[in-house]
Copies of this chain bind each other. A is one copy, B any other.
Amino acid sequence: MTINAAQIKALAAQIKKGSRLALSRAITLIESTTAADRTAAGQLLQSLLPHTGGSIRLGLTGAPGCGKSTLIDQLGLNLITLGKRVAVLAIDPSSTKSGGSILADKTRMGRLSALESAFIRPSPSSGKLGGDARNTHETLLLCEAAGFDVVIVETVGIGQSEAVIADIVDFVAILIQPGTGDELQGLKRGVLEIANMIVVTKSDGEGLIAAARTAGDYAGTLHIMTAPGSPWDPPVQQVSAIENQGLDEMWVQIERHQNLLNEKGMLEEIRRDQAARRLRVLVEEEVLARFHRDEKNSAKLQKLERMVRSGELTPGVAADDALK
């Protein structure tokens, strides 16, 4: 696809009117890796940036099988009933390897995807600087320009996606499936640190007792992990998506958090800091990638690593040598 300046302008205008077709076309442009498309995508984003920032950016992360899709489906329906337009995006670190997607089809959120006020976008393809997470971030901005009130970014809490999500959204909810002590331990280290809320899913039927125990365990842990004097003490919320229990309370907390940030003038500041940090991360990732892509560097480093592993060199002396 090639696109000229007039077409970019027209596309931007249609997006601002809320056109889903225009939104989809723009996302395709953003995900393209050809030089011409990337220039065009940059221009489109630049013209739309003044119209972004109006949504609540909600990050949801949790292990496969924890009930993420069911929760998003019901939460989305509730929000649409409140008159809101809802977009659902995904960061899927594994898709860059497998080519697959955690949102393989829209049947995962069957009821939500059928609604005009909802927009569900599968995990983007990658292949350029910043890859998948970058596409998701820019798609989020497009959705805001298109007038969506809530943008949900979902990710499986593995790899580094949770560090990225914390730099993209306003609020991170970690979904935990109730279980025994042993199953609890499977939570990836580092994930709790970015939580603005813990959601214990499947709090219904025979799972109720286990869910209450899980909620209690995490309440204590979160309390220890919260910085003193912090304006926000992350709550633990029990939820049953199939019974639509606890989701309203979950949303009330999210709005309370957003209002708190807005009142204190912190939201804009946080988002500016996030954007600056994203820039730095993207640049540094690419600087390192270029260093390692250089075959001479790469071969030298591999040789030195072998010498370090075999005990011939200290890491410090080897590093001096690698950078000579």
Contact = CB atoms under 8 A, between A and B. Distances in A.
Interface stretch (A148-156, A253-261, A308-316): A308-316
Contacts of A218: 224
Contacts of A305: 276, 279-280
A308 B280 CA distance: 11
A99 interface: no
A182 interface: yes
A291 interface: yes
Contacts of A278: 308, 315-316
A105 interface: no
Interface residues on A, range: 35 or more
Q: Which 7 A-B pairs have the closest CB atoms?
A: A278-B315, A282-B319, A279-B315, A42-B317, A134-B316, A185-B228, A272-B309
A221 B200 CA distance: 17
A217 interface: yes
Contact of A315 (B137, B192, B323): B137
A190 to B, nearest CB: 7
Contacts of A227: 185-186, 189
Contacts of A185: 223-228
Contacts of A276: 305, 308-309, 315
A36 interface: no
How many subunits of this chain does the assembly comprise? Answer: 2
A301 B277 CA distance: 12
Given A49-B312, A311-B50, A314-B49, A279 B319 contact: yes
Contacts of A186: 227-228
B49 A283 contact: no
Interface in A266-324: 272, 275-276, 278-280, 282-284, 286-288, 291, 301, 304-305, 308-309, 311-320, 322-323
A229 to B, nearest CB: 9
Nearest to A282: B319
Contact of A311 (B49, B129, B182, B228): B49
A172 B7 CA distance: 60
